[in-house]
Structure 1
């Protein structure tokens, strides 16, 4: 992947901050519990104005389970995506801004298993309903290439 030089004004013209997109020089960590997301809090991150959620006390409701299990990861080398109009677009992986090389990371959550239990999803009455877990799609603003020009797209 080539390192594309980007005008810093591109980041000032539009609000590009999204909790699911991050520009950073190093991979972002997940929080200690694996559920929340921590953004890098140093100058290495362009999303400096996005704050992490404060840690809350652990939930003591034992026996409560999610209907479907999910897996959340940061994805770094996404080269193509489908925009909100259904068109395939080229995603910028590496961005050079003020002589610093940044990577564009996307936070993705997917179903771990379409049928977490033999009858489908947890908590669904299997005698009356058929159920399964499916991953839904969310559109976020990402930096993409349009011809020879970098542009923000959903």
Structure 2
């Protein structure tokens, strides 16, 4: 039996989940690139560390694949939760904007509260929300508060 009051929470939780998984994918990608670069540029001792480095590269590739599958599952479940009536062509836009939004937010966090970085993060968040509403097939908005109302059972929420 579905708890109608939890459905809105499911949507919000799935959004947070896929955003964090996408961000984790990018961190794993960065670590993979670092290991490959270390090999390509002679920054590790091939006689003692080669096998360890190759194993780490394999592990990062597997981790990236697993993370991508988890993110895709969350995104597809969310799309289906809203009746599969949104614009599925926004899938990649939503994914990339979610990463941009979180990365910009992390830059602000690391900046000692630089207001320009916060403004940039908030601008990216607006673009993310707009693309996400298009993806879900709900009323298109850039307004975070408006979107929160939409997923809490407001207008055009199927």
Common fold: TM-score over 0.5: no
Interval containing the TM-score (normalised by the shorter chain): under 0.3
User: When you count strand as a share of all residues, which structure comes out higher?
Assistant: 1
Report the TM-score when normalising by structure 1: 0.23
TM-score (norm. length: structure 2): 0.23
